[in-house]
Amino acid sequence: MNTVLSRANSLFAFSLSVMAALTFGCFITTAFKDRRVPVDIHVSKVMLKNVDDFTGPRERSDLGFITFDLSPIFDWNVKQLFLYLSAEYATKSNSLNQVVLWDKIVLRGENTKLNLRDMKSKYFFFDDGNGLR
């Protein structure tokens, strides 16, 4: 007859085997998923408007329309996404400048289709020199 310790050992070994199989199954469900999504970036209808910005210097502000559909990215394994929009430009003094214009953290359960209108840049977009030329 089996002792209590040998039965506990068998139960523990079986539990570990089941957990290993479940872990491998979780790995398989996400390992081969294609995480790439099509991206379409275009600039249309460029207008220059004077917009009062009381949080910064009294200069013109650029407004933007940002539209995302992030629903294909979210599955059971994605808890949150860190999104950011950056701009790259060159000046005489620096060959490459990078500025983060906007960022957002999207949590699971929030609206994954972002349609942002009249968005100002979250961070100031300026050059340390004489402006962006």
Looking at the fold, whether 71 and 86 belong to one and the same domain comes out as yes
Looking at the fold, whether 15 and 66 belong to one and the same domain comes out as no
Phi, psi of 17 (to 5 degrees): -65, -40
Place of tokens 């996400």: 30
Structure tokens that stand for 86 in this block:
């950056």
Looking at the fold, whether 12 and 60 belong to one and the same domain comes out as no
Q: What is the pTM of this model?
A: 0.55
Looking at the fold, whether 20 and 51 belong to one and the same domain comes out as no
Phi, psi of 127 (to 5 degrees): -105, 145
Residue 80 DSSP code:
E
Domain span holding position 42? 37-133
Looking at the fold, whether 7 and 44 belong to one and the same domain comes out as no
pLDDT in tens, 32-66: 887 777 766 666 665 555 555 555 555 555 667 77
Looking at the fold, whether 28 and 43 belong to one and the same domain comes out as no
Looking at the fold, whether 24 and 42 belong to one and the same domain comes out as no
Looking at the fold, whether 27 and 41 belong to one and the same domain comes out as no
pLDDT in tens, 82-128: 988 887 877 777 788 788 878 889 888 888 788 877 666 666 665 55
Work out how many domains the chain is built from and give that number.
2
Looking at the fold, whether 19 and 51 belong to one and the same domain comes out as no
